[in-house]
Chains A and B, each alone.
Chain A
Amino acid sequence: MAFPHRPDAPELPDFSMLKRLARDQLIYLLEQLPGKKDLFIEADLMSPLDRIANVSILKQHEVDKLYKVENKPALSSSEQLCFLVRPRIKNMRYIASLVNADKMAGRTRKYKVIFSPQKFYACEMVLEEEGVYGDVSCDEWAFSLLPLDVDLLSMELPEFFRDYFLEGDQRWINTLAQALHLLSTLYGPFPNCYGIGRCAKMSYELWKRLEEEEDGETKGRRPEIGHIFLLDRDVDFVTALCSQVVYEGLVDDTFRIKCGSVDFGPEVTSSDKSLKVLLNAEDKVFNEIRNEHFSNVFGFLSQKARNLQAQYDRRRGMDIKQMKNFVSQELKGLKQEHRLLSLHIGACESIMKKKTKQDFQELIKTEHALLEGFNIRESTNYIEEHIDRQVSPIESLRLMCLLSITENGLIPKDYRSLKTQYLQSYGPEHLLTFFNLRRAGLLTEQAPGDTLTAVESKVSKLVTDKAAGKITDAFSSLAKRSNFRAISKKLNLIPRVDGEYDLKVPRDMAYVFSGAYVPLSCRIIEQVLERRGWQGLDEVVRLLNCSELAFTDMTKDDKASSESLRLILVVFLGGCTFSEISALRFLGREKGK
């Protein structure tokens, strides 16, 4: 999950407070187990942990050795073992097997399990079933929000999407509500709340209940953030399915940005080692190009290189004193910049190489055709060829899903043949993948004779049927109709452009997709904030199939008040793409003026 918002004139709240809070709590928990101990860390908690507390802090609190939680017997010889894990059942079984192995060997040690961000009863149940509940002590590390950048927070919960949108499991909603509650206690109450989607609504309600239960504290505080917008990922799958073309998005698509940092391989670093690089606003070079369309990036980088060279060149003709000054003051900065510059140039080259190999232009062309809804047959053929050539399993799927969503499902013939081709190319196990995609509404079949009105009446019946939970069934039984085409028309998502779209000086958010498409999610946010609510968007909301689940909550209408009201926090429930972040940053710059 990510929380981008406009980095602009109004000052951003100090999110590093969240880090300090998490660190203090972790230290407290570690000190609960006095003496030397070995720490077992879940693999995907390692990077977030690294951002909160480095190894030396851990050592200060008597952590002796660090291990990764993996399915291997532990070699640790320490008398005290501490496990830092996500609340997952497989971890519990691992811990239980470890404890039981010790018991068999007649060994007694102390075990402590720290769950992050919270513990689940099911986990304790498993420990109990395995007969080790009495041997371990359990604690919670309520570390739910990691500030990745000055304007970006993440919950680092990769399973959120799968659990909620595929399995209909709502356990993370509580975690989310807690996180929102934490934000409102730290940064003042949010005067305006908007949201769309079922998950957004549930989280919102749970959050408000939490606030009620311990009221008093936040009241009367000056809010630091004016608006909060909750958005379910399934409101807009389209944007997430498009190839990214802003620099940061491309880096993510090519190298995977994890927890705000990226591993650049040898082909980028032009040495024989990989390098882990932190990507955020502190990287001056990156900060300037992250939101740029890729076509501008090379030009910018070479300009930058020339400037750098010029600065280096100044030292010719310097006298001794100037030289001393230069070395002591500027050289370090220049060297740093130089290093970063060469890294990003390397990255660009690597991206170019990969993209040309795949015939990126063709791919983009097909995507745009799908978004605009012409030459469907040709696009379908392209996808089929893509599959036949085994270009990339994930890209093939992405294209299929995009086709399905923009077209309200595939026509039955294509649905069958594409699936058959896919299974032949990439293996029969993907039959299950297709079941899941279908359930999540990502890849569906047009029901024969299913006219728009028929579906609509079905949907509205389900939505009005308050006998709770029935809607969850709608997930599986009735693959959600996306109505993308109609929404696109209503919200004007495909800009009509005469002539070239100038990517250097973008006019609207469409630049993040080469001017071909304005991200739906960001457009909704823009519209709602402009109108300060959902008035006039009824038709869109209806088309999104979320009519009951869009809400606005304006507690007080003191528009005139402080600066801070211009700050907006957008919460994507189920993750977001860097393109969307770039688009929102753009929106912030445009409207924030």
Chain B
Amino acid sequence: MAATVTQQPQKLVLLTGDSWGMLACLCTVLWHLPAVPALNRTGDPGPGPSIQKTYDLTRYLEHQLRSLAGTYLNYLGPPFNEPDFNPPRLGAETLPRATVNLDVWQNLSDKLRLTQNYEAYSHLLCYLRGLNRQAATAELRRSLAHFCTSLQGLLGSIAGVMAALGYPLPQPLPGTEPTWSPDPAHSDFLQKMDDFWLLKELQTWLWRSAKDFNRLKKKMQPPAAAVTLRLEAHGF
């Protein structure tokens, strides 16, 4: 996009042959350079592809998490791997909650929505890495590491979307940096509960993100037909 913007003034320069004009044009170009993202936003391709990519990645991660969670919950043993196991969320207070009231969610701005996503995944990624460190079997560690890499990709993707839309990345407040360290007073059982909740929240977040990005995508790409077509093509 930036290239197209700069080419037209150059042609103009050639036509005029005026050095002052050329200077003026260059100045204009320079003047417009900071506005390029804004142009992008309003422009046709815009952030649509990157949102689409993020959406796709979310769906992929959702799919990936399904197999990972199965493996991990089996590792935790019964009753964690029972299908109707639904313990109250007692521990795991530090985990970012994905559940949100529909009205609240609808009233969120795009920026806030993206920021929440970004923050949530940064936290979840950190916890997930901790999970990886304590896993007892090598195979589990491998699949966790693989998922972490994917999640890192999603985080980067969200950051890309935010940058494309011109939103600043949320800066973690000093001291609130999520650090995963196994609480010595934390019993193994509570740790398992935390792990369970981490996976559950991760899943809910991925669902929510898919919804978020879908909404964002619709907003950015008016032709809805194209969007649905793509969705179908990528339906996981």
Answer whether A and B are interacting partners: no
Residues of B participating in the A interface, judged by any CB pair closer than 8 Å: none
Report A's interface with B, CB cutoff 8 A: none
